[in-house]
Amino acid sequence: MSAQHHSGGTALSAKIVWVTGAGSGVGEAAALLMARAGASVVLTGRRIEPLESVAARITSEGGTAMVAAGDVTDKTTASTVVAQIVARFGRLDILVNNAGMNIKNRKLAELTPDTVNEMVAGNLTGAYYNVLAALNVMRQQKDGVLIHTASWAGKYISQISGSTYSTAKAAVIAMSETINVEEFRNGIRSSVLCPNEIATPMLDKRPVKVTDEERARMLQMEDMGNLIVYIASQPPHVCINEVVISPTWNRFYEKMI
């Protein structure tokens, strides 16, 4: 694949970025925008076809992309992918820890032990595996940025997202800050993003259908991608610990009136 960086931006020039959940949604937007900012991007997700599609878009614009498909809930995936990244690029500068999931039958009365395990693995355990693997490299470099997609639901409890999703995302918020507590002496910065509703394919899992008009009012994938590029572009002495972001038309506020 092309080693040339996209000429449109240099904010992340020479940076090596690993994006999980990179085949769609926020991960796809972040990967494309980071590549346009000059980064070499490694794409991970369960399905290889969407990853190859994103990689093709990046390389068609003169960027560098590497596909490393895998299920992050498998405890061997993260260490395998990071080993591949180091073998090719020699370092890992930024982890966009974005892979996540939700289910339709999300009320407590509908949950089973299996669906609880699935949700915790998909939204928390896999994220932890990625952190452990990335930190092994970043500690040696005395530098690194980790950006985690949590959720508004991790801070504000409602019935919309479901208990397992809210619980796992709240834990991601705690995980991110413990990274800062333990790793700041190593020059490592961790940021957690807590977005309210985003117009992504995950909305299709909602028990109640979301209309096109409602989607248009939500945060867009590019909004999140731009935010991720901004955080990743900060100088090493800056840590953006947490960002809570919502659409101006916030349906949670609407219910308060």
User: Per residue in 139-172, pLDDT tens?
Assistant: 999 999 999 999 999 999 988 889 999 999 999 9
Residue-level pLDDT at 242: 98
The two tokens of residue 166 are 């809210």
Q: Which of 51, 71, 89, 72 is nearest to 131 (CA)?
A: 72
User: Is a pLDDT exceeding 60 seen at residue 7?
Assistant: no
Residue-level pLDDT at 3: 37
Rounded to the nearest integer, the mean pLDDT of the chain is 93
pTM score? 0.93
Residue-level pLDDT at 159: 83
Contact 14, 38 (CB under 8 A): yes
Contact 143, 113 (CB under 8 A): no
Residue-level pLDDT at 257: 59
**Rounded average pLDDT over 233-257:** 91
Q: How far apart are CA 19 and CA 7, in angstroms?
A: 21
**Rounded average pLDDT over 20-30:** 96
Q: Which CATH class is domain 16-254?
A: alpha beta
**Ranges of each domain in the chain:** 16-254
Active site positions, annotated: 165
User: Is a pLDDT exceeding 60 seen at residue 74?
Assistant: yes
Q: How far apart are CA 181 and CA 169, in angstroms?
A: 19
Q: In angstroms, what CA-CA distances link 157 with 92, 112, 134, 163, 255?
A: 35, 20, 30, 8, 13
Q: Which of 70, 119, 106, 64 is nearest to 207 (CA)?
A: 106
| Span 116-141, pLDDT tens digits | 999 999 999 999 999 999 999 999 99
User: Is a pLDDT exceeding 50 seen at residue 2?
Assistant: no
